[in-house]
Amino acid sequence: MKYVVSNYGAGITVGLLDKETAEQDMNLAHNLFNVNSTEYLFHGSINFRTLKEFKRLLAFKQYYKQWENYWSNGGKEYSNLQFWKKAFRAANKELNTSVSYNNFMDQITASNNHYDIGCYQD
């Protein structure tokens, strides 16, 4: 497994379990979708608005891999639409094989029972 998905408020949080790709995933998600990421859970975690947005991140990753392979192998005639079709097929496959679903954010929220009152008390 590379990813753990949890419901978190109105969106989802994706825990990154693969140490080698965690930084790349966080940077790509921030640059593409302007989402927040943190490093204190797993090897990092990313907050998305929807699962569809996470699926788009996986598709972009696959798209860039295919693009790199395409140019390293000589760059024959190829349609951009074909790149995207293959990328979304690979993203769907990765979503079904490399992603587990666990509400770890509910467990973390339940374990943090302390209340920060702040500086001012009236």
For residue 60, is it within any domain?
A: yes
Name the residue range of residue 45's domain. 3-107
For residue 45, is it within any domain?
A: yes
For residue 119, is it within any domain?
A: no
Instruction: Count how many domains the chain has.
Output: 1
Query: Is the alpha carbon torsion for 78, 84, 85, 86 positive or negative?
Result: positive
Cα 12 to Cα 7, 8, 23, 78, 114, distances in angstroms? 4, 5, 19, 35, 23
The pLDDT value given to residue 97: 86
The pLDDT value given to residue 118: 53
For residue 121, is it within any domain?
A: no
Instruction: Write out pLDDT tens, residues 7-30.
Output: 877 788 888 888 888 888 888 888
Asked whether 48 and 35 are in contact (CB, 8 A), the reply is yes
Q: Which residues of 68-102 are buried (b: 16+ CB within 10 A; e: fewer)?
A: eeeeeeeeeeeeeeebeeebbebbeebbeeebeee
For residue 43, is it within any domain?
A: yes
The pLDDT value given to residue 122: 47
For residue 120, is it within any domain?
A: no
For residue 77, is it within any domain?
A: yes
The pLDDT value given to residue 9: 75
For residue 114, is it within any domain?
A: no
Q: What is the pTM of this model?
A: 0.75
Task: Output the six-digit token pair for 96.
Answer: 């079904």
pLDDT along the chain (122 residues), means of 10: 81 86 88 86 86 88 79 66 82 83 71 54 48
